[in-house]
Amino acid sequence: MQLLVTGAELADGTRGDLFVADGVLRDPADAPGDVERLDADGLIALPGFVDLHTHLREPGREDAETVASGTRAAARGGYTAVFAMANTDPVTDTGESAEHILALGRRDGSAQVVPIGAITKGLAGAELAELGSMNARAGVTVFSDDGMCVMNAGLMCRALEYVTAFDGVVAQHAQDSNLAGTSACCHESEISGRLGLPGWPAVAESVIIARDVQLAKLTGSRLHVCHVSTAESVEVLRWAKAQGIRVTAEVTPHHLYLTTREVESYDPTYKVNPPLRTDEHVDAVRQALADGTIDVVATDHAPHASHDKDDHAFGDARPGMLGLEQALAVVMETSLERLGWAGVADRMSIAPARIGGVSGTQGRPLAMGEPATFVLVDPAARAVVNRSASASISRNNPYHGRELPDPVVATVWAGRVTYRR
């Protein structure tokens, strides 16, 4: 495929043309006269986004999402790579199961699908999964029991030690189950008491991060913290980074934008783990994203079938929200003024590609000879979000009915147009 994109503004503020040929960016002067053209006047061209935290649900819960539907949603959001979390059925905890995720991505993906391996067998927190086999057979470098915290410090330490052999990273779902058990579903505060919902205190997150950064220091390994949601966690991360500890962290769009006010409706769409927090915590994670304490935006895209969400009371519903299609919109609404477009490119593409070990093909500069992998963004477009228009199979979209930026005009992955408005 050949395509000439004309007049786009790049993240650094310069303007230029992008000539796509055979999956690579070529010299625009070499574009033939009859090449397909896309007028990008007024649009921003950014490297394609990389999501370190996506639940594609396949295999096992194809009623909620598939690799095909999830990556179509990703492409609509400007994503060209997604890291598929391991909590499928069966769990991605062997070399064979990781190879299966790769194969599904190659067959059905509208974006690159990178498997995340489980830290422990069956996510049970008792015995290490086949970390070495997953790396050797499927190139897995990121491991997580997301949805479950690795509570055993000795086991977490062994995982961190093990992945140093191939410069892997262990991504922790930080939730001390002694402080926030499986029933915890509302930020512990005045509101949890008033609503009669089991509390999920901020300290249940930060205490695990405090433990794990010291284990990362001990082992010299790489730790990544999933879905940071509290001001206390931000302070622990700042301390750890000041010590030179190899820790990175992510924040979700919903923790940047939504607050405990949404929970007052008891709408199970707003049940998520960790829970939505109060304004002080939202302000803290926004600032941390801006100053680099939090490295990346990751969606934690968590589709659920209606019988797992809508048919239950808040406390009994499955936690999680859709996130891929509105992630950039939320970042623009909450953080663009502080980040600028270069910062958006870093937090949503360059840094996650580096952390996830795919920086050879993702998060690359938009320059001649580089992969033709980018997103075109209209900074002025806005629209009311309609969950029925989603590419996802599921409809648990927390932004439904809200007016937000509607920025993504086109997504190109390795020279293939995967989405075009």
β 403-405/169-172 pair status:
unpaired
Q: Could you write out the three-class secondary structure of 259-293?
A: CHHHHHHCCHHHCCCCCCCCHHHHHHHHHHHHHCC
Which amino acid would we find at residue 266? Y
Which residues are within 8 A (CB) of 243 and not within 5 positions of it... i.e. 6 or more apart?
217
Is residue 95 a contact partner of residue 137, using CB atoms and an 8 Å limit? Answer: yes
Is residue 247 a contact partner of residue 239, using CB atoms and an 8 Å limit? Answer: no
Buried b (16+ CB within 10 A) or exposed e, 258-290: bbbebbeeeebbbbbbbbbbbeebbebbbebbb
Beta bridge partners of 128: 120
Tokens 């896309």 sit on residue? 38
List the one residue out of 18, 116, 112 whose CA is nearest residue 67.
112
The SS3 assignment for 248 reads strand
The answer to whether 295 is a known catalytic residue is no
The SS3 assignment for 237 reads helix
Beta bridge partners of 16: 8
Is residue 414 a contact partner of residue 371, using CB atoms and an 8 Å limit? Answer: yes
Instruction: Note if the bond before 198 is cis, omega within 30 degrees.
Output: no
β 186-187/247-251 pair status:
unpaired
- Catalytic residue chosen out of the listed positions 212, 295, 300, 346: 300
The conformation of residue 63, written as its DSSP 8-state character, comes to T
Which residues are within 8 A (CB) of 182 and not within 5 positions of it... i.e. 6 or more apart?
none
The SS3 assignment for 133 reads helix
List the one residue out of 222, 215, 224, 238 whose CA is nearest residue 145.
224
Tokens 């598929």 sit on residue? 84
Q: How far apart are CA 329 and CA 404, in angstroms?
A: 6
And the tokens for 376? 């075109």
The residues carrying an active-site annotation are 300
